Chains A and B, each alone.
Chain A
Amino acid sequence: MTAVTGPRAQDARYWLASHRGPILAAALFLAMFAVFVTEHPAGLSGNVVNTAANKGALLALVAVAQTIPVLTAGLDLSVGSVFVMTNCLASTVVTGTPREVGLGVALVVVVGVACGALNGLVVVVGRLQPIIATLATGAMYQGIALWLRPAPGGEIDEDFADFVTGSLGDVIPFSIVVLIAAVVVIWVPYRRSVLGRAAYAIGSSEQAAYMSGVPIARAKFLAYVLAGLFAALAGLLLTCVTYSGEANALLGGSYTLSSIAAVVVGGTSLYGGSGGAIGTIFGAFVLRTIGDLLFVFDIDPLSQPLFLGVVLLISVSLGSFRLLRVKKRLDLYR
């Protein structure tokens, strides 16, 4: 830092440094999406954008759910199960008169919040390690999903579903509007609230946070509740996309794992304390665009899972470049 740089330049540099993850993820997504659109036979049509947006928004919502516990240095391995369970619930209750549809949506959200609250209770009051506690509650939610819908099926109000998965004026996909609304209405106020900042403090150092009088128990509890809420929103969106519900354990598992990958690609540290939902959203869209790119470049469908794995491995290994800047070898170790 030389004397020439003024305070404003320092601010900008600090801002860039602290937002490197989201900026890189956003740039990567834009580049990949540009290639995808130019290579796609239909080009930049409303339909192509809409499909990509719906697929991306599904993972983005689950990944945002994962982000918030991760910020507290926790983890929620039940997000995929809550996602599948709320999908099964929504395929039963979100139907009928407009009033019943509204009540059904509210019920789905409340159930998601309740699942998050149970996770929060087990982690905060029960003092169990989040990774193993949510593994167990995830098995329970998967069981409830099977109980709700033993065989795939069900239905959802078609007008509602078409509206949610459609585009505003055939240009802006509504799922993107939902995503932006979720960020503006839930994430930003949360990030600025006492409990939101507490989540970051806990992730950096729980002991320091405790000594500073940070409300640890409430902040952790809220983090898991919000995870349940976002997972339920994703479950609702999935029902609108597929018009049905299915207690698919494999789907839930793959979404849980992809959500962790999206969190990492979006620049949030798995050790807690840094990152945020916006980077995660771009991380989720990056992961989904990889699949789309494999499609437009006509990669053999059988080798697509292998490509996805290799890209995932490379993208998580890119973070290792920071090792080159580590001066003391001791700093490599925990």
Chain B
Amino acid sequence: MTARVLAGRIDRALAAAIGCIVVLLVAGALYDRNFLSADYLLQQLQVASFLGIIATGVMLVVLLGHIDLSIPWVVTIGGMMSTAAAGHQGWAGALAIPFAIACGLGIGIANGIGVAYLRVPSMIFTLATNAIAQGLMVVHTSGFAPQDHATPAMHFLAVERSILGIPNAVWVWAAIGAATVVLLGRTRFGRRIYAIGNSERAVFLSRVNVRLVVVACFAISGACSAFAGVLLAGYSTKAYQAMGDPYLLPAIAAVVLGGTSILGGRGSYLGTIAGVVLVTLLQSILSIVQMPEAGRQVIYGAVVILMLLVYGRSAKVVS
């Protein structure tokens, strides 16, 4: 029974993604025996958890058939606002993490209002909010790297290993992931996300408040990105300009490689997890073999295209 339920959950994309992960692990192990050590793999999971939290929000937005290009500077806002609040004494410093998440939530809500109520294409509206977020941070820091440092709480969440020797960041991702699985599979809200991705009009005709669902998804995406920014700041003890830039493309690639349709309406969170691990391992292997940056980029792009050619092709237009 359990086996059959599990088999039903694993679709072609997920199977292919897992297959690619196994291939990468074997290839890595052939190159260096330490690649399969528990320590190294845990470290990879820790790095993956930052991307995984960002990809969670991206996935919700992509499921709607939209896209969130404001990720880079919302991540940076998360990092910078948390470290800035940490500079204050007393309760403001203690509230560093919630404050940063609230900032991301605010930008996400703005994105959602622009997309749902103003009907501006999400690609261009989130692009504009990204520019505004960048502008705000340049004003905030006067263009320099901020001098503030992460709080002990941020360091604890991002770096330390409290339970079973597994990094806390992985536990955090696991908690967010579990909540997302329940949200998508077990709640009315989750079903509506898939439904909107398939046909917004049909959902509207079913007397569902479509706009509210869209705003909520963008808000979650903003909050996830900002929270990932908090963890990244905790990981490297401080926030810096453009710290979110390297996360936009990998997050979208991870979601799509995990089998979520970029047109919306189709995809599973298990796939996104596999996609995140896949992208992280790929980047890690390319840096281990000491490939120069140029070759790394070419191979990264080529591998993403090859994997998508294997299982990400869209249907042919026939009528």
- Residues of A that sit less than 8 Å from B by CB: 75, 122, 126-129, 131-133, 135-140, 142-147, 150, 206-207, 210-211, 216, 250, 253, 257, 260-261, 264, 270-271, 302-310, 312-313, 316-317, 319-320, 323, 329-330, 332-334
Contacts and interface: CB of A to CB of B under 8 A. Distances in A.
A317 B294 contact: no
Given A126-B309, A140-B301, A323-B118, A334 B200 contact: yes
Given A140-B302, A143-B297, A146-B297, A132 B125 contact: no
A313 B297 contact: no
A132 B252 contact: yes
B19 interface: no
B26 interface: no
B314 A147 contact: no
A106 B95 CA distance: 60
B128 A313 contact: yes
A333 B208 CA distance: 12
A147 B294 CA distance: 5
A90 B228 CA distance: 40
B contact face: mostly helix, strand, loop, or mixed: helix
A128 B314 contact: yes
Interface stretch (B30-38, B134-142, B186-194): B134-142
Contact of A303 (B139, B253, B294, B309): B139
A319 to B, nearest CB: 7
Nearest to B305: A136
A310 B132 contact: yes
Contacts of B314: 127-129
B305 A334 contact: no
A330 B205 contact: yes
20 contacts: A126-B313, A132-B253, A132-B304, A135-B252, A139-B249, A147-B294, A216-B317, A253-B245, A303-B135, A309-B128, A309-B131, A309-B132, A313-B114, A313-B128, A323-B119, A330-B204, A330-B205, A332-B204, A333-B200, A334-B199
Nearest to B129: A313
Nearest to B210: A333
Contact of A207 (B300, B304, B317): B317
Given A143-B294, A143-B298, A316 B131 contact: no
Interface of B: 65, 67, 69, 114, 118-121, 123-125, 127-136, 138-139, 142-143, 199-201, 203-205, 210, 242, 245, 249, 252-253, 256, 262-263, 292-302, 304-305, 308-309, 312-319
A261 B305 contact: no
Given A136-B301, A309-B128, A270 B121 contact: yes
Nearest to A323: B119
Given A129-B314, A210-B317, A270 B301 contact: no
Contacts of A330: 201, 204-205
Contacts of A126: 305, 308-309, 313
The 7 closest A-B pairs by CB, nearest first: A306-B135, A143-B297, A309-B131, A140-B301, A309-B132, A139-B301, A147-B294
| Most chain B beta-carbon neighbours within 10 Å: one of A122, A147, A312 | A312
B121 A312 contact: no
Given A138-B301, A139-B249, A309-B132, A302 B319 contact: no
B293 A146 contact: yes
Contacts of B263: 129
Nearest to A141: B301
B120 A317 contact: yes
Contact of A211 (B129, B249, B300, B319): B319
Nearest to B298: A143
Contact of B135 (A122, A150, A307): A307
A309 B135 contact: yes
Contact of B294 (A144, A309, A313, A316): A144
A131 B312 CA distance: 13
B297 A140 contact: yes
Given A131-B67, A309-B132, 9 more contacts: A75-B123, A129-B312, A135-B304, A138-B301, A143-B300, A150-B292, A305-B134, A306-B139, A313-B125
A302 B142 contact: yes
A329 B209 CA distance: 12
A137 B308 contact: no
Contact of A127 (B293, B294, B301, B313): B313
Contacts of B135: 303-310
A210 B319 contact: yes
Nearest to A148: B294
Contacts of A302: 138-139, 142-143
Contacts of B199: 334
| Most chain A beta-carbon neighbours within 10 Å: one of B135, B299, B319 | B135
A143 B301 contact: yes
A306 B136 contact: yes
A133 B253 CA distance: 10
A316 B120 contact: yes
| Most chain B beta-carbon neighbours within 10 Å: one of A138, A253, A271, A306 | A306
B123 A128 contact: no
| Most chain A beta-carbon neighbours within 10 Å: one of B199, B263, B313, B317 | B317
Contacts of B315: 127
| Most chain A beta-carbon neighbours within 10 Å: one of B205, B253, B262, B319 | B262
B305 A305 contact: no
